Structure 1
């Protein structure tokens, strides 16, 4: 498949994908073609792919790979699905990227989360949980300012929780229903204040997704 054929294929594919999806064609470690969706991963034609990108996993396994990709200051987090393709006789990748919570949309979300407090385990309805935190390699979730330790990682939870939970930082997930306000600090970094008074930072890699999700 030449690059012209790849462009045509992507154009057809975009008609079948949700508006949130972005599509890219990659070969020789660089983006050859990119069509952004509503969830724009900010890829640029000619740009090199990151060393930890899903692209490298696809080329190594020579098969379809699905993977959550953590963003940074220059790119957005996303859930990617990569397919091996041949572009001008070179091994390449067709990459379809979705919002970070895409995978969870196709699974029945959990309705309760069980956590440990002292020597007891407590099943807590997820709508009662204000936020979830990763601290010192342990995961904690909070109900009425009481902390419970969970066996899951944040990555596991964001795929299992209902869509009213929002990843805002590598260390935090919040329940949208418990947000009081969103503001900025003196450095213009976004902050989320919960109804219980807890203030949580928002990392830049999640800010675009948060604005789209909350509509501001």
Structure 2
């Protein structure tokens, strides 16, 4: 297949001009794969690079698009890059061959509008209790279950951290593979003896900040 970067970029701009201009943010990244091989990559704000000619990982959005031949969107963990990312993949045709156009949105991307959660319903013992979002201090993934905390009370929810990451208000930030915090409840941020960052919440809870998320948190809190 004789396709180079210029050919692919021209094809995408011509065939998917509406997609690229109408809703893709300027800091999004675009990857294109054909025959389970990446043939084009344009980086947005992400601190990563993707090698042209590298194989498509089996647990990536691009692989799912090529395998299922349909649009796929999901929050992925670390299957392709160092930080979780929200991606949308579309099946496309390039030079008569099935391909995948994948749009990788910023790590802090959130859905806007009425789809944002206004409350979470948590379970305590045999009771289900709706809790307003603004009263939740942090959310935790533990032993394949999701828990959230409000007024020192623990609640179990069926909603996963992956879904919550994109459907919580802007005051919620993911700081670790296992934690999302409400910045309203932050008391301070410090370093431990090994220079790793620790967030201290107003209720006394201390949570680690992983290296994968510290830059995004710095960008939000300006420290």
**C-alpha deviation, 1:37, in angstroms:** 1.7
Structure 2 counterpart of 1:85:
92
Q: Which runs of 5+ in 1 are unaligned?
A: none
| Backbone CA RMSD of aligned residues | 2.8
**C-alpha deviation, 1:19, in angstroms:** 2.4
1:99 to 2:101 alignment: no
Q: What CA distance in whole angstroms lies between the structure 2 residues aligned with 1:67 and 1:41?
A: 20
Structure 2 counterpart of 1:60:
67
Structure 2 counterpart of 1:142:
149
Q: What CA distance in whole angstroms lies between the structure 2 residues aligned with 1:115 and 1:21?
A: 34
What TM-score, normalized by structure 2, do the two folds share? 0.80
Structure 1 counterpart of 2:83:
76
Q: What CA distance in whole angstroms lies between the structure 2 residues aligned with 1:68 and 1:41?
A: 18
**C-alpha deviation, 1:179, in angstroms:** 1.6
1:42 to 2:44 alignment: no
Q: What CA distance in whole angstroms lies between the structure 1 residues aligned with 2:99 and 2:192?
A: 43
SS in structure 2 of the partner of residue 152 of structure 1: coil
Q: What CA distance in whole angstroms lies between the structure 2 residues aligned with 1:146 and 1:70?
A: 28
Q: What CA distance in whole angstroms lies between the structure 2 residues aligned with 1:21 and 1:189?
A: 29
Q: Structure with the greater relative contact order (CA < 8 A, sep ≥ 6): 1 or 2?
A: 1
Across the two proteins, how many residue pairs are aligned to each other?
A: 215
Q: What CA distance in whole angstroms lies between the structure 1 residues aligned with 2:94 and 2:56?
A: 16
What TM-score, normalized by structure 1, do the two folds share? 0.83
Structure 2 counterpart of 1:6:
8
CA separation of 1:199/1:30 partners in 2, compared to 1, >3 Å: closer, same or farther?
Answer: farther
Between stretches 169-178 and 118-127, larger displacement belongs to 118-127
Structure 2 counterpart of 1:176:
183
Match of 1:155 among 162, 171, 180: 162
